[in-house]
Structure 1
Amino acid sequence: MSVQASPASPPVRRVLLLAHTGRVEARDVARAFVKALASHDIRVRALADEAADLGLEPADVDIAVDEVSAAVDCELAIVIGGDGTVLRAAEITHDHGTPLLGINLGHVGFLAEAEPDAVDATVGAIVDRRYTSEERLTVDVAVFRDGELVSSTFALNEASVEKAARQRMLEVVVEVDGRPLSRFGCDGVVCATPTGSTAYNFSAGGPVVWPSVEALLMVPISAHALFARPLVVAPSSVLAVEVLARTEGAGVLWCDGRRTVDLPPGARIEVRRGARPVRFVRLHEAPFTDRLVAKFGLPVQGWRGAVDVQRRTLDA
């Protein structure tokens, strides 16, 4: 007598939810996502403190034991908040390579993909897997003191070396690919990725670099020097900033504005292309130019490019 095997159950689909729960709108949007995804048999995982802030029980969401394992087996992470929340999500998911889908509740939201009023459309794209992911270059950052490695981390946007005290200028020597480039006093030095080119790098006067360009950026902040220009170097280059040993000014390293390391005189910071990129979910293929115009509110009135293209097409 033969026994017919029962059909295997489909694998459970699971997404991680990370939200800026200090904002009422973020809490409302997060709960809407949980309810909508559950109706399509997609489980949501949340950090314990965020689940409590949202008023969700274990019956509603899977509770993550800790941040280290929160993204395990999640096909993507829905991130509800501003760019700061996305940077926190990148930190939590970095080791697992989980794609991030940002829902913008911030002021600019360069890292976000969707708006909070599009919950149904976004859930539909997730359910039907109508999305792609793109990789963004990161940097690995190492801090040395007396030749000894004392700290290492990564950054999605930038690693910035800054003066620790307002009244003290930071004296540094900057280096590219093992060769000294210039020495100057400054408020700091930003080492950024193309993704971070529209963040701190932009505020410091650095260039905007399209995300598809693989490069590293170095931008001095308020440098007292004849040559202290923004630099764009190859992605294989290694950038270094040395805080001069014979100086009264100490510094501090900030990575993505979230993680800090104190830098005494003599400290050396090395920045190189990261071993692991961060992945972002894309729901549609919008040109980066359009994103710049929308996020910065750039004036484009009077542009006739589309008219010219249409005319040339009709005349062909």
Structure 2
Amino acid sequence: MSDAALSGGPRHILLVSHTARPEAVEATLTVYHQLIEAGVTPVMADDERTNLLAAHGEELNVAVLHRDTEINEIDIAIVLGGDGTILRAAEMLRGESAPIVGVNLGHVGFLAESERHDLAKTVTCIVERRYRVEERMALQVLVKVGGIVVYETWALNEATVEKASRERMLEVVIEVDGRPLSSFGCDGVVMSTPTGSTAYSFSGGGPIVWPSVAALLLVPLSAHSLFNRPLVVDPRSSLAVEVLERNQGSGILWCDGRRAWDLPPGARVVVHRSDVPVRLARIADAPFTDRLVNKFHLPVDGWRGPVRGD
């Protein structure tokens, strides 16, 4: 966060929006006018600002990121879209102190703090600084070939090693803390944070882990093995997936579904906890249990609450 933001001076709020969609354009314009009225400078990436101006048809007083405003001047980011748009914002703000608040315009939107109908209230809380910051664990991801690091990246949700050819299984060995655990053929292996436990890991049969729990998850995908259960390990552990030399084809690494890297036979993907968390702004104090119920539309009919003294 900039010195100006900390001192209560001029504020710059980044808007990250899926401006190719009409509903996102409408929501972005609503936020824009509310920020201007509050004396805050809206900031957008150049391509998103161009899309917004083309849809709106009139000039808007929006600063361009990296041209008019530097990333370290951003106070907070308001994200208008689904989880994919929030992950894009996290990528843009990687290593910065500015938190992210998401307004869900997508389907599930597990990372989002509020829904479209709460938009005005959410912006008011942001302008008035009525939010707390929650730090979420991220993954540091290394790809090694012949013992040499050839690629390094990070992930908020998950790093997934997948087969590159649909018609072939991927032969892998999984490893925990430098020791081999099992080898098998599979469609892939998901290595996830607690935040990602409701994303790809969940689809693969992994457990839901509360965000406050510090842990790493490993979930095999369609593994041809008697031992194919998800693992939950200490956050200080390291996880690795090695693409065996006997594979006839290559694999591919995906991080948060956004960054990819080809994995030749013999490549190793090593994952451990990143020293740099992702900062999310929280406005409501609703427990994670309520978020699960609301996002997944879980049935809770008949519940009367705990008995006094429970």
TM class by shorter chain equals over 0.9
Aligned length: 300
State the partner residue of 2:64.
Answer: 63
State the partner residue of 1:5.
Answer: none
Encode CA deviations 1:45-65: one digit per residue, 9 max, x unaligned: 101111111117786111113
Offset of 1:120 from its aligned partner? 2.1
Q: Which moved more, 1:101-110 or 1:48-57?
A: 48-57
State the partner residue of 1:103.
Answer: 103
Q: Which moved more, 1:188-197 or 1:42-51?
A: 42-51
Give matches, 1:1-316, under 5 Å. 11-55=9-53, 60-65=61-66, 71-305=71-305, 308-309=307-308
Alignment check: 8 A CA contact 1:156 1:193 kept: yes
Offset of 1:275 from its aligned partner? 1.4
Distance 2:183 2:27 in 1: 49
Alignment check: 8 A CA contact 1:102 1:111 kept: yes
Alignment check: 8 A CA contact 1:46 1:70 kept: no
Offset of 1:104 from its aligned partner? 0.2
Offset of 1:122 from its aligned partner? 1.4
Alignment check: 8 A CA contact 1:137 1:273 kept: yes
Structure 1 unaligned residues grouped into runs of 5+: 1-8
Q: Which moved more, 1:143-152 or 1:91-100?
A: 91-100
Amino acid at match of 1:156: L
Offset of 1:40 from its aligned partner? 0.8
Amino acid at match of 1:63: V
Distance 1:127 1:43 in 2: 11
Offset of 1:249 from its aligned partner? 3.0
Distance 1:22 1:148 in 2: 41
Offset of 1:304 from its aligned partner? 1.5
Offset of 1:70 from its aligned partner? 5.4
Name the SS for the 1:30 alignment partner. helix
Distance 1:260 1:26 in 2: 27
Offset of 1:21 from its aligned partner? 0.7
Alignment check: 8 A CA contact 1:216 1:234 kept: yes
Encode CA deviations 1:254-301: one digit per residue, 9 max, x unaligned: 000000000010000000001100011101101000000000000000
Larger radius of gyration: 1
Alignment check: 8 A CA contact 1:169 1:249 kept: no
Name the SS for the 2:25 alignment partner. helix
Distance 2:139 2:59 in 1: 37
TM-score of the two chains, using structure 1 as the length reference: 0.91
Distance 2:201 2:220 in 1: 9
State the partner residue of 1:3.
Answer: none
Distance 2:164 2:241 in 1: 15
Amino acid at match of 1:34: Y
Alignment check: 8 A CA contact 1:242 1:268 kept: yes
Amino acid at match of 2:135: E
Offset of 1:30 from its aligned partner? 0.5
Encode CA deviations 1:82-140: one digit per residue, 9 max, x unaligned: 00000111111112132110010111000000112223211211121111010000000
Name the SS for the 2:122 alignment partner. helix
Name the SS for the 1:228 alignment partner. coil
Q: Which moved more, 1:44-53 or 1:193-202?
A: 44-53
Alignment check: 8 A CA contact 1:70 1:92 kept: no
Taking every aligned residue pair, what percent have the same amino acid on both sides?
A: 56
Name the SS for the 1:65 alignment partner. coil
Amino acid at match of 1:60: N
Name the SS for the 1:72 alignment partner. helix
Offset of 1:153 from its aligned partner? 0.3
Q: Which moved more, 1:115-124 or 1:257-266?
A: 115-124
Alignment check: 8 A CA contact 1:97 1:277 kept: no
Amino acid at match of 1:191: M
Name the SS for the 2:12 alignment partner. strand
Offset of 1:188 from its aligned partner? 0.4
